[in-house]
Structure 1
Amino acid sequence: MMQTGRLGGIARHARPRGPIEPIDHVSVSVVGGLQGDFRGAVKPGGKGRRQVSLIEADCWDAAMAELQVRPGDRLPWHARRANLLIEHLRLPREAGTIVAIGATLRIEITQECDPCSRMEELLPGLKAALLPDWRGGFLGKVLTDGEIAVGDEIRIER
């Protein structure tokens, strides 16, 4: 039986250190990644290993709990600067995993998304809380184009 989850959120940022824009739906392509996100375009000669970033809701929740952040003071998931929020599904912690979202989008997980010092600017201790067990998320390369929306099904294909 195939495990499935749901796309709980979509966010993008048009420039490095720019504001995060949560959105309800977006086009994602092999050439440009998440439409409107600065990381998506594959540079000439590049491999596109960081086109899209994903984070599991459970991992974000675990980091907030570890830091004992009260529910009313919690940072939103997109403060992590990830593009896609995965709910109700645990991804394999390995490169090469293929994740399907919606009808046609396919993303290959290329590596763990290590938290950067920017996380410390948001909340002291957050970088360390996101280090274990791929809590900081996943980076991926777009294999096939797709239109996605919050609520779409997410599947692990391999």
Structure 2
Amino acid sequence: METVDHVAVTVDGGLAGDYRGAVKPGGRGRRQVTLMERIDWQAAMAEVGHNIAWSERRANLLVDGLDLPQVPGVRLRIGADVLLEVTRETDPCERMEALAPGLRAALTPDWRGGACTRVLAGGIIAVGDPIRIE
């Protein structure tokens, strides 16, 4: 994982530098960009009694001040140009349990582990860009 202050986002490739965001031939790109709410990560940390950096979750973007919609098909605008579509919940994996006992379960309720999205329109996003539901 690498933390950056800005990144290019494309319809075919997701976030620049993240090979998992590339749409595979015949694929639908349902997991191009993953987002997680800061408050959800903090709640999970409180539940397991740890203070692990959010980047260990391996979500692409940490969102602050927005309750991520838990409905596939909802669109999110980041900055002026980037448009994402929620596709599904980001399921917590066994790696979370290796970070802290109970973390996988702490990330399970109410999409606390985050949301997967596909890129509908690309552009450049940066830390502090506004994010809103369209």
Q: TM-score range by the shorter chain?
A: over 0.9
Query: 1:103-132 CA distances to partner (integer Å, 9 max, x unpaired)?
Result: 100000000001000101111111000000
Aligned to 2:26, the other structure's residue is in SS state: coil
List runs of 5+ in structure 1 lacking aligned partners. Answer: 1-19
Aligned to 2:63, the other structure's residue is in SS state: strand
Bigger proportion of residues as strand: 1
Partner of 2:30: 49
Which residue of the other structure, out of 110, 119, 125, is the alignment partner of 1:133?
110
Query: 1:36-88 CA distances to partner (integer Å, 9 max, x unpaired)?
Result: 0011110000000010100000100110111122xxxx111111000000001
Letter in 1 for 2:55: H
Letter in 2 for 1:50: R
Partner of 1:61: 42
Report deviation, 1:101. 0.3
How many residues are aligned here? 134
- Same amino acid, percent of matched pairs: 60
Aligned to 1:45, the other structure's residue is in SS state: coil
Aligned to 1:22, the other structure's residue is in SS state: coil
Superposition RMSD in Å? 0.7
Partner of 1:36: 17
List runs of 5+ in structure 2 lacking aligned partners. Answer: none
Q: Distance in 2 between matches of 1:128 and 1:27?
A: 33
